[in-house]
Chain A
Amino acid sequence: MKKTINIPLGSQHISLLEPVRFKFECENEKIISVDSDVGFVHRGIERACTTKFKFDAIGYVVARVCGLCAITHSLSYTAAVEKLLGGEITKKAKYLRILLLELDRIHSHMLCLSHTCENAGFEAMFMRIMGDRELVMEIQELLTGNRVQFDYINIGGVNRDINSEVAKKIIENLYEVKQRVLGYMDEFTNNWSLSLKFKGIGALSLDDAYSFNAIGPLARASGLNIDVRNEIDYLPFNEIGFKMQTQFEGDINARNIVRLNEIFNSILMCENIVNGLPEGEIFTKLKGKPNGEAIVRFEAPRGELMYYVKGNGSAMLERVRIKTPTFACIPAFTHIFVGENYADAPAILASFDPCLSCTAK
């Protein structure tokens, strides 16, 4: 007689924002094997980039790969095309790009934290974090004109300038966010009922993180020093106070603490940018058509995002390849589930902060 039972999670489930299906094979309460299926939202964007759109429009198309890390997608594509065209953009445009990148990281991490709380059964904390997240969304709307899909980055610079009123509002709101996040730090480290669901659950060891090729906050929570912002020199992250955040436990709690620390670091970077913004133009016109190959890497809120662009001197590109962070993390995900209780599965899944529309494209 068969002793295990199969439990499906998804493709539609209350704890999921987007369709993904996990098949858990359980023995009593324990999960003994996991099968995942991530292809529900495949739309065919890579193909459309080479057949349907010209190269100067693709920056706005690839932003629609994912709404949460939209800015990283369009930034990576734009950086790759700028490499091929060979132009240099102004320093002010670079700083404004980092500003929006970090604001996006703050709101993405806050969404992830709130979602983890909701899946652990702490509805009040979910509401609290989502309410405070609106402060960041407000800044983004002032800066770019839209709350989620910004369409802010253009080949050659950015589309909107920042004025003194917006800068003042950014500083005010970020100060407020900082106070609120200090409150969460207290809650996440000291709250007894949250620690029941978070501490020691879903742990990933340093060796496993290394051998399963984990990236992003998942790897940094296990103590792996991996962050693309530390490795690239295209944008001046080190100038404005970037610091690597790592923890060593590797469990859900460690991932949450890494995200909270990254929010602090991002707030510091945003404040530095707004206070020391260089003078100059926000846009330089770049001429020509992309010819050749380019690879660009950036740190999305979930980990490393890689773009490969190949052009042949015409307005249509030959190939656009997108390698997304969640795709690289899936082996680590399935490894973590094994040996945990099924009741913890939604909380563990939310703590990965998976982005399936990135993965399936």
Chain B
Amino acid sequence: MFDLKKYRKKSPWILHYNAGSCNGCDIEILASLAPKYDLERFGVINTGNPKQSDIFLVTGPVTYRSRERLVELYTQMPEPKVVIAVGSCTCTGGVFRDMYNVEDGIDRYIPVDVYIAGCAVSPELIIDGVVKALEILEKKSKEMEKALKLFKEATSENGVINRRNVALKVGEVHEEN
């Protein structure tokens, strides 16, 4: 019926947060969603709600004011989630490194899966990064499936569901797959 595993890869939703960048990378993210580069052909939609999104695009070195908001947004996103650091200053601090109101890069606070370098990044690189993130998203959702499979599917006989022998041994799933 509704196979989440299959459709999540086909239509990942993006959450975008500016943690103190110069707007350069943000307008390039907008440009990569627009007709010429058209990231939306991969099913990507830009959404403002962290509770509905799968991919987290962060720009900017983390300023002290935006730090708590960044971590809050990350914790509100449901698993599986992928974090992409867009731009040099997001990866390492870049030109803003060691300024007094700046944490150097987002990976001090949240785990990052894909780093995209460049100041400002070009839309081609953003597309590359998101496609890479889709692979990671698929891998992560497979890992989640593994942990959840403690039961086999129940068999039904004459309309009566038989749930007696549904518990799985550890490692039995891997042999089946």
Residues of chain A touching chain B, judged by Cβ–Cβ distance below 8 Å, are 11-15, 17-19, 39-45, 47-48, 52, 60-61, 64-68, 70, 111, 126-128, 130-131, 133-134, 137, 146-149, 355, 357
A15 to B99, CA, bound (A): 29
* CB proximity to A under 8 Å, residues B22-71: 22-28, 30-31, 33-36, 46-50, 60-61, 63, 65-66, 69
**Nearest-Cβ distance from residue B167 to partner chain A, whole angstroms:** 44
**Nearest-Cβ distance from residue B159 to partner chain A, whole angstroms:** 48
Q: Is B115 an interface residue (CB 8 A)?
A: no
Chain A residues with CB under 8 A of B117? none
A295 to B20, CA, bound (A): 27
A127 to B34, CA, bound (A): 6
Which of A17, A43, A47 makes the CB contact (< 8 A) with B63? A43
**Nearest-Cβ distance from residue A78 to partner chain B, whole angstroms:** 17
Which of B36, B66, B99 makes the CB contact (< 8 A) with A134? B36
Chain A residues with CB under 8 A of B50? 12
Chain B residues with CB under 8 A of A65? 22
**Nearest-Cβ distance from residue B152 to partner chain A, whole angstroms:** 42
Q: Is B101 an interface residue (CB 8 A)?
A: yes
Residues of chain B touching chain A, judged by Cβ–Cβ distance below 8 Å, are 17-28, 30-31, 33-36, 46-50, 60-61, 63, 65-66, 69, 73, 89, 95-96, 98-102, 119-120, 122
> B122 to A147, Cβ gap below 8 A?
yes
> B31 to A137, Cβ gap below 8 A?
yes
Chain B residues with CB under 8 A of A11? 66, 69
> B47 to A14, Cβ gap below 8 A?
yes
**Nearest-Cβ distance from residue B120 to partner chain A, whole angstroms:** 4
> A43 to B20, Cβ gap below 8 A?
yes
